[in-house]
Structure 1
Amino acid sequence: MSTKLAGKSALITGAAQGIGAATARVFAGYGARIVVADINEDGGRETVAAIEKDGGEAIFVRADITSGADMEAAVRATVDAYGRLDCAVNNAGVEEQGAALHEITEEAWDRLVAVNLKGVWLSMKYEIRQMLEQGGGTIANMASVAGLVGLPLGISDYSATKGGVVAMTRTAAIEYVRQGVRVNAVCPGVVRTPLLDQAIQGGMFTEAEAAALHPTGVLLDPEDVAETFAFLCADTSKHITGQSIAVDCGMSAG
């Protein structure tokens, strides 16, 4: 087993299920010490238990990423537990059922912006403060292929938030590169997660139609995205910053 994250502490938001939970397990498998942050306490503690069962080290912190106080506390809990914050994966996010732009409600817009954009900003705000104090660190944000290309799926609100994450990632990388803080983003295509299940059940598309969005015709697994997060947080990617890496089976290439 690789030890490319051995000794590093990692704060992972939205780690109670899906890509976040897979990322927490993958990071722990590479030797990182994990803080599982989520509003879902039961799911978060299940992720911790799975990591500990495999011999890893993890704690759970309840955190709502739309709350600055919660994210400040999550960073503090990481430092209290492990002495520093080496890596942060800002994975938590939400989706809405597909709707044409003129049919999107203010409530839906405000919710997506609050979680997917403001939440990433608040997470970075307190993570970067700590990383500046300790002399550096690495941040990887969850964006989406929808933030890179236009998709006819009725997700203009979601796309706007993920495009914002891509732009914020790029700018933050330049702001802090000389202070030892790297900032990148991952832009997945369609991944087998509970959010995908909700979209299918809501009638956005069938599973076959979702897979057909990829040139390869197959869906991604959460571990595929988790491994990319691990690469971006490892020292082997030390010269990579400000990038938005598409993990999308070629979806954005056309």
Structure 2
Amino acid sequence: MPTGQGIDGAPELFTPNRFADQVVLITGAAQGIGLAVANRIAFEGGKLFLVDRAELVGEVADEIAQRSGADIGWATADLETFEGAEAMAQACEDKFGRIDVAINVVGGTIWAKPFEHYAPEEIEKEVTRSLFTTLWSVRAELPRLIDAEGGTIVNVSSVATRGVNRVPYAASKGGVNALTSALALEAAEKNVRVVATAPGGTLAPERKVKRGPGPEGEQEKQWYQAIVDQTIDSSLFKRYGTLDEQAAPIVFLASREASYITGSVLPVAGGDQG
């Protein structure tokens, strides 16, 4: 099972110069999958613009730049609003003059419980976090890719579109899948590819910035454990994936090696198709 090196060094496997002379914007880059993707592309020659709502993204950018020598800019942004997404895209353009590749990672389950236990405001927050962050980001990125006469958008979805105890999150990621396939139809004639991966359960260090409250009480812990159990049972390998195993297919789809792939959502979940 590949482990990768994460923030502490170069990835275990990478392709030098695969992103040479390309500007790559990555959202959700301060932690988890976004950080693993940023680390890999930095060692593959890309110019990076890292975005997160947490100030931690600045520290991450400095650390990756010191180890890889990559040219890296960064910004904090509230991607739950179009204004935040537009400011992010403009900041990248101000730094590098263009966007060649946009990788949208922001999202994640806030609560874990059966649907009948979600309050209306919790449903809205889940959809805002895991659908609108991608929808607004793509809306801000797309005109700039068109102006640059082509580029690539990679969205990060989830196989949890078929999963227990997180229906609002599943619906949101279903929206990301639909966004990807529908926009690919429109954008192809403008030389813009739109693709996605759908990760399964992924091993990662404890988050420095939490997505939301953790399970409290025995009932909430059981609801969350049901997600873990289903995730493992649905994988043919009966395990979670690693950050490196998630980053590798994202980076491939973002690269020019995948130039004839668009509209696809690739499950990366040990055989779980979602």
| Shift in alpha-carbon separation, 1:207–1:185, aligned structure 2, 3 A | closer
> Once the two structures are superposed, what CA deviation does each residue of 1:179-224 show, in whole Å capped at 9, x if it has no partner?
01100011001011347x989x622128973544422022111121
Alignment of 1:1-254 (within 5 A): 1-41=15-55, 43-54=56-67, 55-147=69-161, 150-151=162-163, 153-193=164-204, 194=206, 202=215, 203=221, 204-205=224-225, 209=229, 210-252=231-273
Cα RMSD of the aligned pairs, angstroms, is 2.1
1:32-68 per-position Cα deviation (integer Å, ceiling 9, x unaligned)? 1111111101x20222022112122212101111121
Q: Which moved more, 1:209-218 or 1:119-128?
A: 209-218
* Percent of pairs with identical residues: 28
Aligned length: 248
Stretches (4+) displaced over 3 A? 206-213
- Which structure 1 residue ranges, 5 or more long, are not aligned? none
Return the letter of the residue paired with 1:47. V
- 1:80-131 Cα deviation digits (max 9, x unpaired): 2112100101101131232111111112111111121111111001100111
CA distance in 2, matches of 1:207, 1:107: 22
CA offsets, 1:140-177, max 9 Å, x none? 00100123xx22x2111111000010011000000110
Q: What TM-score do you get using the length of structure 2 for normalisation? A: 0.85
8 Å contact from structure 2 (residues 108, 211) kept in 1? no
Q: Flag structure 2 segments of 5+ consecutive residues without an equivalent.
A: 1-14, 216-220
